[in-house]
Each structure stands twice: as structure tokens, then as C-alpha cells.
Amino acid sequence: MRILTGVQPSGQLHWGNYFGAMKPIIDTQAQGETFVFVAQYHALTTVHDAAALRQATRDVALDFLACGLDPAKACLFRQADVPEVHELAWLLSVVTPMGLLERCHSYKDKLARGLPASHGLFAYPVLMAADILLYQSDEVPVGRDQKQHVEVTRDIAAKFNQTFGEVFKLPQPRIAETVAVIPGLDGQKMSKSYGNTIGLFDDPKEVKAKIMRIATDSTPLEAPKDPDACRVFALYRLFADEAETEAMRQNYLRGGYGYGHAKKALFEIYQRKMAPFRERRAALAAHPEEVEAALRAGAERARAVARQTLAAARRAVGLD
């Protein structure tokens, strides 16, 4: 089984990135062939600062390695190091219906938030499909709100196969329902676009300040509270094990436990769980040549697969 995920270097990675995309694939990296790429071309739809893109690309790689991605088990690479993705994107685009792209939620959402309607933004799902299909991926871990991207990929692959012959597998979305949507500080999905994130490796003082700003209701301290309606609890349970989660749930239900207590507990468990990752990241940052070596080795492995897939697609359409 081949599993693939990509993360945009469009800014500092946050808790939503970690629990929504990074941790699921790190936890399962030994279950099959795991491909993880830094999605630089996708980031270009919003990042137009070359230095910022370079730095964010390095940071994404550092963050993945610090959090436990093992280059001996997983293939970590930069999207830009596998140029075959662009030719495949064009081959897929010639069979992709305009209406399919026009219906994509992500495009409409970005337009609603004021992003310019560029071709890159509109054709984003075709490049994403190329990313997935180039490696003949079986599963793609995504949040529930991104399931449509995999469905669009399946539609494009099916259209290509129908038109030119069987070339691509139809990938399946892998959705961990317990972490399908990570709440931000304001209750919306945690996203850089909404400015409601907590950085994965933020300074602890900044993390604590952000946690204390999480919006809660006005239930008095002494009254019982509904843990399932509280975003502080939703974030706490991401870090906690089963026993810790249940203990926190009982604190809410018993009463006499305020949101301030819950926020303090959230900060403490974050500190405890992230400490080893911080140490590992600092060690890696001191030896950037090791990170670069992992990325280059990953690109070689990725290109070996990409060339085979692209060759099959070229034969199918008559470009061999």
C-alpha cells in the first residue's frame, strides 16, 4: 500500500497541520510505502516572496523530521525536485471538465476571502491530482473538509482511464474522524487563512498567551460543563491519551472546574508532549546538511516512481 500526503510551505506549521496531516502519516509510516512532499508549487498561489518560500520549505522538512518522520521508512521530498508532476498535470488537464473545477469548494472559498482568481488557484485541483496519481497512491490522509480533493482526483483519473486506457489507480481518502477538523482559537477550522492558529513550534510564552485567548462560553466555574461543546477540550484530547481525556471529561462534568483550569492543563500537556520534538528540531537545525541529504534521497526515490507513471501516461496518449 502506498500512502501520500503533502503540506504547503505557506507559513509556519500549526497544530491543525500536525494533527490533521503530519501525525496520521507519521504514525502509519511503517504500514506501507509512505510519500511526503513539501508542496511548493501549491504554495505559490499565495506566497510570492522567494526568500519566504525557501525558508518555509526548510521549516516544513525540519518539522516533519523533528516530529518523527523517518527518512529510512518514508520518502520525504520537495515537490519542485520532481518536475514530472507538471507534464502529468497537463495530460490530466486535457480531460478535466471545467465544471468539475468550478464546483470545488476550496476555489470558491478562497475567492470569497478576497484572493485573486488566478489560473493557478483555479487549476489547483489538477496539480493536486497529478501529485497523487504520479505515485500511484492508494490512500491520501485528509481532513473531512478536504475529502473533495481526493474525490476530484478520482474523477480525473477515471476520466483519463476511460479516454486513454487504464493507467491510474483510484486513490481513497483516509479520514481520521476524531481529528477531521481541528478547531482554531475562534472555533473555525484552524487555518493560516483565518489567522486563528497555534504554531507547532511557537515560543512557549506565545503558545500560552494564545491558549488563554481561546473563546469559551460564560458558564460559571462551579457549574458542570459540556466537554464536547468546548474547543479547549477538543484541543486537549488531541494531545491526551485515553485516561487523560477521560479524567478531563470528568472534571468538566463534575463542576467546580473552570475554563482557566482547562487552558492551563492544555498548555501543560502541550509542553510535555512537544518537548522531545523541540529538542530534535534544534539538533536537526544545527546540521542542515542532514536535512538536505534526506530531501535529495527522497527526491531520487520519488522520481524513480514518477518516471514510470509518466512513461505509462505518455504511451497511453501517444507521446512515446
Block residue for cell numbers 497537463? 90
Query: Distance between terminal CA atoms of the chain?
Result: 28
* Cα–Cα distance for residue pair 10/46, rounded to 1 Å: 7
Count the residues in the chain. 320
Q: Which active-site residues does the annotation give?
A: 110, 189, 192
pTM: 0.89
Rounded to 10 degrees, the C-alpha dihedral 89/92/94/98 comes to: -90
Closest CA to 268 of 188, 187, 212, 192: 212
Residues 225-250: tens digit of each pLDDT: 999 999 999 999 999 999 999 999 99
**Is 197 within a domain?**
no
Burial grade of 40 (CB within 10 A; 0-12, 13-18, 19 or more)? buried
CATH number, residue 210: 1.10.240.10
E-strand stretches of 65-137? 74-78
Closest CA to 38 of 1, 14, 63: 63
150 in the same domain as 272: no
Residues of the chain above pLDDT 90, percent: 75
Residues 91-120: tens digit of each pLDDT: 999 999 998 988 887 767 777 777 777 888
Rounded mean pLDDT, 143-168: 91
Q: What is the domain extent for residue 217? A: 202-282
297 in the same domain as 276: no
* Cα–Cα distance for residue pair 112/267, rounded to 1 Å: 34
119 in the same domain as 174: yes
Rounded mean pLDDT, 72-88: 97
294 in the same domain as 275: no
Whether 59 shows a pLDDT value over 90: the answer reads: yes
Grid coordinates representing 166 are 487504464
